[in-house]
Structure 1
Amino acid sequence: MAHSNGPGQGAAAPAVEHLSVGDLAAMEQFDCQVLAGAAGLGRPVVWAHSCELEDPWRWLGADELLMTVGICVPRGARAQRRLVAGLHAAELAGIAIGDDLKAPPLTRALLDTADELGFPVLLVGHTTPFAAIGRTVAMASQSEQVRRLVRVSRLYEPARTAAFRGGSLLGRLSAELGHRLHVLDVALGSEVFRQDHPLDPDVLARLRDATADRLGRLPARLCVDGVDGAEGVRATALALSTHRPCMLVAEGPGELDADGFLLLHVQSLVSVEVERAERERAARCDSGAELWERLVDGGFGDEAGTLALDGFGLAGPRTALGIPAESRAVAAALLGDADVPVLLGRERGEAAVLLVGTARADEVVELLRDRVPAIGVSASGTAVGQLPDTARQARWALQAAVASGGGVADYETAAPILLPRTVADAEHATRTVLGALIDHDRQHGTELLHTLETFLAGDRSWREASESLRIHRQTLGYRLRKVEAVTGRSLRSTGDVAVLWMALLARRITEL
């Protein structure tokens, strides 16, 4: 639709307190760009008028927006400076120039004058009809829909700026809605974006309880109070369209009372921000895993390794933590939410190892211990060349924690569980007890070692082992008898079972 260019076409409207030139510029549907005079974006707009006559301020009045395809814009710096000065003196709201290639080149004099006077100069996309802008201004004082669009446009403005991310975006939206906003992963009980004022613990617990059996399809809206309604704390939780089971939680003295149309846009904005943050965290986690693998495999010298670690915020003494492989995704989410600098290695066997600054190791353990069944903690070290041993210690301690039934085990105090303390000792124990079984599997293509480990890990439950291995109980019995024949040890003997189990743990250590 072409821009109109008659001398007096427009739409009158009574003044609206909140509709300004900046509001119109923020509406994405108008495809506006602020060329100059940003200081005057707060000017109110009561009329939007299209005019292509010379000296257009003669035909418009105060607080009216001039819309032009550029025919009324003169050529030359002096004439363009006079145009802006005349429009400003007549107290117009601003000028919107259609991007139709009909306007002469805008000079630096025009833009500088507009900046000096705080007179907004907008460039309007060529597909935007001036009639649409005129109707919006005319309806602003009468239509609640337009007022909602204005508010939504204000919400989208910070989202375009890199400075308004995560907690900053939530802060801006919180000010708009009058409630403190949080993004809660209701499965983990973790806030996706760290803030100075975390969600009330009682509210958090009640939200998790209310959604525990509904994670696959979160309720669209929930309202919960703190314990006994303490201090009137009340939270309104809204489901978000994210891969993680997240809800936007508005915390305040009462239930969130906001327009549903506005809330839909807020939810959309926050959902997009959560997904963006998750992509960035995943990319950083992947690059950290690659670095960690190279460090453990000796792919860096001390100087290069130190620089690389410094880049990840891991300067100074460092500690490694071993966790079960199946807990890696949970750990990645929790550590990303907490914004803790770590290198999280990929799964190796049944474990994954992460590296954290020693000063924050206790914090990380506390963060993970309720969601990760077993954690092994290495000794602290500084030298890059020590990192392979640090990783090995974390795995050693993890096996100690697993053997003790879970919890946290420290390498320096976990010796009594009888695990070998050196790779050579672990290899010797593995070879002495399991060597014949390993050779038999390699030579005959069997899975006796895996069968033994599955059987013992399941507390020697025939049903559990058969189901896990997907074999018949008779097949399991045949394999276990073969294990006994090859190893010379009986699975009915507590002593032999203990030796076999410790050898399996030692074998895991040799797989570092």
Structure 2
Amino acid sequence: MSRLTVGDLIAMDQLGCAAVAGMGGLDRRIVWAHTSELDPWDWLGADELLMTAGLCVPSDERAQCTFVERLHEKGLAGVIIGDDVTAPPLTAAMLANADRLNFPILRCSHTTPFAAIGRTVALASQSVQVSRVARLSRLYEHARSTSLAETSLLVRLSRELQYTLHVVDVEHGTDVLPTDNPLSDATIRSLTSRVAGTLDRLPAHLTLGEGADYVMTAHALPTHRKCMLVMEGSPATDVDAFALLHVRSLIGVEVEKVTREREYADEVGEGLLRRILAGSDAPEAVTPLLEEFDLSAPEWTVLSFDIDFLPAARTIAGDRGVPNVTAILDERAYMLLPTGRCSETIDVLSGKTRAMGVSPSATAIGQISDSARQASWALDTARSTGVPVARYSTDAPLFVPRTRTDARHATDAILGDLLLYDRGHESHLVETLETFLTHNRSWTVTADRLGIHRQSLAFRLRKIESVTGRNLKASSDIAMLWLALRARAHASALTD
């Protein structure tokens, strides 16, 4: 570790550096010196010396004070500002703030090239280069041997760096890679809240918590998913920008690999679930395939939700290690999972989607297709009532069927005469009824969707009332007709 301090630079007369503020911090250690005219806190790290011609130094007094504070908060060793016309005048308030923070501000002669200062720091740091390269070699060895080890890459890197590492998907609020000590839900919520408005361009660095013996920081990862690396440990433990750059790269590659593996598993799982729902494979043929997805549980539950939520549901369930297979059928998504993991999964997913239907438990593979229909009917209930989660009731009445056979009975009991009339007269009364109820009994919208005149619609609605014996102004009759239409739709769904 370099022992060069800010005071040592000043003592080298040939460099022409002089402190103008923050003399109480001249014992600050310098591990590297770098120029930057952009926002330096985004590009330099702890114990690094900023060298600037002054372009990044604001001219406003308040802004200059903030400039010093941000450099100090990032842990920089100090700043050298070139003594030429490029830099704005340094205000008394800025210098006083630097004195208060013991943050060194140096001016150097315009005849001293920054390269000379940089090389001086580099020479002083050469003694630590061998150990730094050795550490880098160990980092890549951890990555290479992870597939052969029982512990994850994140755990191995945590031990090497003496920091506890976590990877958080800040879009979905999940811990992406397994660790010995998962990050708390409260910390994940705090992080996702802080970056909620910057998902398209995550901040390079955030400080989440700081104390005398503890620091927690977050760093954006180079991944397709919106992920950040969270590091927690002692501020006395040195992880410089050089090591952090490679750690981020290694972990980013691991996240991409895990993501690709899950995407492939989701594709295979979708084919499996489709075959189960279609009943095209014998149960004894399906059982070993389910075991490959850790779905050999004696009881399964099916969830149903909107198809636009499926990618997020797969990501969240995968990050939480919930065994599942998913598929899209008939404009809705289904997830098969062990009943024992159902409650926690519903708790996590329900706050992120508008509506969800939940089936009763299935105890045999042959019952899963009925469970999917029940989850689908429950989803319709959730949508129509506005509740986030609807569970299919096992004591449902006739118009909330339990099986495809029940659905057909419900359809025949309520819509049978209307279906027969349509077949005999080619009258499209069932289509008219469904369009009318789907659009909240709007005459204008219904007539427009059917391409008929309002008078023709009036005739059809009177005929529907006559054939069914139900009143299209009575809430109870409307409810029965609507649920019968839903039962009819689902009776033909999920077929091969």
Q: TM-score range by the shorter chain?
A: 0.5 to 0.7
Contact 1:319/1:377 (<8 A) preserved: no
Change (3 A) 1:204 1:436: farther
Q: Name which of structure 1's ranges 315-324 and 165-174 shifts more when overlaid on structure 2.
A: 165-174
Q: Is 1:237 aligned to 2:218, yes or no?
A: yes
Q: Which residue of 1 aligns with 2:392?
A: 411
Letter in 2 for 1:282: E
Deviation at 1:307, TM superposition (A): 2.3
Residue pairs, 1:10-409, within 5 angstroms: 142=126, 147-163=131-147, 168-225=152-209, 234-254=215-235, 258-324=239-305, 325-344=307-326, 346-409=327-390
Question: Relative to 1, partners in 2 of residues 1:414 and 1:151: Cα closer, same or farther, differing over 3 Å?
Answer: farther
C-alpha distance after superposition, 1:77-129 (max 9, x if no partner): xxxxxxxxxxxxxxxxxxxxxxxxxxxxxxxxxxxxxxxxxxxxxxxxxxxxx
- Against the structure 1 CA distance between its residues 385 and 502, is the aligned structure 2 distance closer, same or farther, given a 3 Å change threshold? closer
Per-residue CA deviation, residues 375-399 of structure 1 (Å, 9 max, x unaligned), is 3332323322222222222223333
Instruction: Give the aligned length.
Output: 358
Query: 1:53-89 deviations in whole A, cap 9, x for unaligned?
Result: xxxxxxxxxxxxxxxxxxxxxxxxxxxxxxxxxxxxx
Q: Are the structure 2 counterparts of residues 486 and 274 from structure 1 closer, same or farther at C-alpha, using a change threshold of 3 Å?
A: farther
CA distance in 2, matches of 1:268, 1:438: 65
Q: How many Å separate the matches in 1 of 2:185 and 2:323? A: 25
Shift of 1:507: 4.0
Structure 1 residues 141 and 421: CA distance shift in structure 2, 3 A? closer
Cα distance in 1 for partners of 2:427, 2:253 equals 54
The question of whether the paired residues in 1 share the 8 Å contact of 2:399 and 2:480 is answered with no
Question: What is the TM-score normalised by the length of structure 2?
Answer: 0.61
Q: 1:237 Cα deviation (Å)?
A: 1.0
Note the residue ranges of structure 1 that are not aligned, 5 or more in a row. 1-15, 17-138, 467-472
Task: For residue 426 of structure 1, report the CA deviation from its aligned partner.
Answer: 2.9
One-letter amino acid matched to 2:140:
Y
Change (3 A) 1:217 1:424: same
Residue 494 (structure 1) shift: 4.8
Q: Work out the CA distance in 1 between the residues paired with 2:224 and 2:358.
A: 31
RMSD over equivalenced CA pairs, Å: 4.1
Partner of 1:161: helix, strand, or coil?
helix
Contact 2:432–2:450 (CA under 8 A) maintained in structure 1: no
Given that 1:451 and 1:480 are in contact with CA atoms closer than 8 Å, whether structure 2 keeps it comes out as no
Q: Partner of 1:505 in structure 2?
A: 486
- CA gap of 1:272–1:394, structure 2 versus 1, over 3 A, is same
* 1:320-341 alpha-carbon deviations (Å, 9 max, x no partner): 2222122211110011111222
Pick closer, same or farther for the CA change 1:191–1:144 going to 2, 3 Å. Answer: same
Whole-Å separation in 2 of the counterparts to 1:414 and 1:253: 58
CA distance in 1: counterparts of 2:203 and 2:432, whole angstroms: 48
1:454-509 CA-partner distances (Å, limit 9, x unpaired): 634xxx799xx98xxxxxx9946966946665454698765565455424432442
1:341 alignment partner, SS class = coil
Percentage of pairs with the same residue: 41
**How far apart, in 2, do the equivalents of 1:480 and 1:497 lie?**
23
Distance 1:477 1:362, change over 3 A: same
For each residue in 1:264-302, what CA deviation from the matched residue of structure 2 results, as whole angstroms up to 9, or x when unmatched?
Answer: 211111111111001101111111111111122112223
Provide closer, same or farther for how the CA distance between residues 142 and 275 of structure 1 changes in structure 2, counting only shifts above 3 A: same
For residues 347 and 179 of structure 1, do their structure 2 counterparts lie closer, same or farther at Cα, with a shift above 3 Å needed? same
Q: Which moved more, 1:176-185 or 1:311-320?
A: 311-320
1:349 offset after TM fit, Å?
2.2
SS in 1 for 2:198: coil
Report the Cα distance in structure 2 between the residues aligned to 1:332 and 1:437, rounded to whole angstroms. Answer: 45
Q: Is 244-253 or 144-153 further displaced after alignment?
A: 144-153
1:140-173: per-residue Cα shift (whole Å, max 9, x none)?
A: 9826555443322221112112437897111122
C-alpha separation between the residues in 2 aligned to 1:437 and 1:190? 55
- Taking structure 1 as reference, are residues 353 and 193 closer, same or farther at Cα in structure 2, changes over 3 Å only? same
Q: Does structure 2 conserve the Cα–Cα contact (< 8 Å) formed by 1:235 and 1:250?
A: yes
Q: CA deviation at 1:305?
A: 2.0
Contact 2:370–2:403 at 8 Å: present in 1 too? no
Q: TM-score, normalised by structure 1?
A: 0.59
Letter in 2 for 1:202: A
CA distance in 1, matches of 2:212, 2:477: 62
Q: Deviation per CA, 1:220-256, whole angstroms, max 9, x where unpaired?
A: 111123xxx7997642111112222111111235598
Contact 2:168 2:229 in 1 (8 A): yes
The answer (yes or no) to whether the contact 2:277–2:368 under 8 Å persists in 1 is yes
Which stretch has the larger CA shift, 232-241 or 168-177?
Answer: 232-241
Displacement, 1:205?
A: 1.8
Partner residue, 2:70 = none
- Confirm or deny: 8 A CA contact 2:266 2:325 kept in the other structure: yes
